[in-house]
Amino acid sequence: MSYSLNEVEATAKRATRGAGYGWGMAEESGRATRWLCAQGLDGASELVRVLERGFAGSVADHMPSGGNTDWTGARDLCPLMTGAALSDWSDLLRAGPIRIERLARPMILIPFAAFAARCLNTVVTVRSGDFSAATDGAQLAIENECPAVAAQVLVTAGGSLTNPSALQSRATPDPAAWDMLNRFAHRTYAPATEESRLLGAGAGLSDND
């Protein structure tokens, strides 16, 4: 089944919030998931793999140290929080590459690299082993399979877009991943009260007939 990119973004945003992240990070996550889906990738599945790791439960352990070009953390880094840092500190790429140690689900970092590419008005390339992804912010060219966890990721300003993927207007996520996103999203819904049930049904306690 296919979904509009707007629906993907809204669901991813709510799911991220349901997983324990703040609303600001949830908004970034929604945009990142939408961007991946627009590139023909299953952003929903990638996001689910991140949310299932439970990084939001111990944020300090999974955030990169910033202010320099070598990023590491106490444990595997969360790609959402690392991506937000890359967006905030994209100017560091002007001086040289950023090295990121022990990054989970590096595919989620790529939309943030795209945002950095737009800010710097250049191509930004993400590499890990034989995996490579280059983006100018709008298009994406990928080589080889992205690892689930990368011992080291190198983000550099520069590169070339060879055979970029065709842009998509709708997403076709894995059904199981889409269902899991909605389960995370459901955590943000307030439990129904008797008053809300009555209001939702359009009924009141009085009868004016």
pLDDT of residue 66: 58
Model confidence pTM above 0.85: yes
How many angstroms separate the CA atoms of 144 and 41, rounded?
14
Give me the pLDDT at residue 65, please: 78
Using the predicted structure, report yes or no on whether residue 206 has a pLDDT greater than 70.
no
User: Which of 105, 142, 98 is closest to 120 using CA atoms?
Assistant: 98
Burial class (CB in 10 A: 0-12, 13-18, 19+), 18: buried
For the cut 80, the answer to whether the pLDDT of residue 95 exceeds it is yes
**Do 52 and 20 form a contact (C-beta atoms < 8 A)?**
no
Q: Which pLDDT score, from 0 to 100, does residue 205 have?
A: 40
> Averaged over 69-95, what is the pLDDT?
94
The predicted pLDDT at position 88 comes to 92
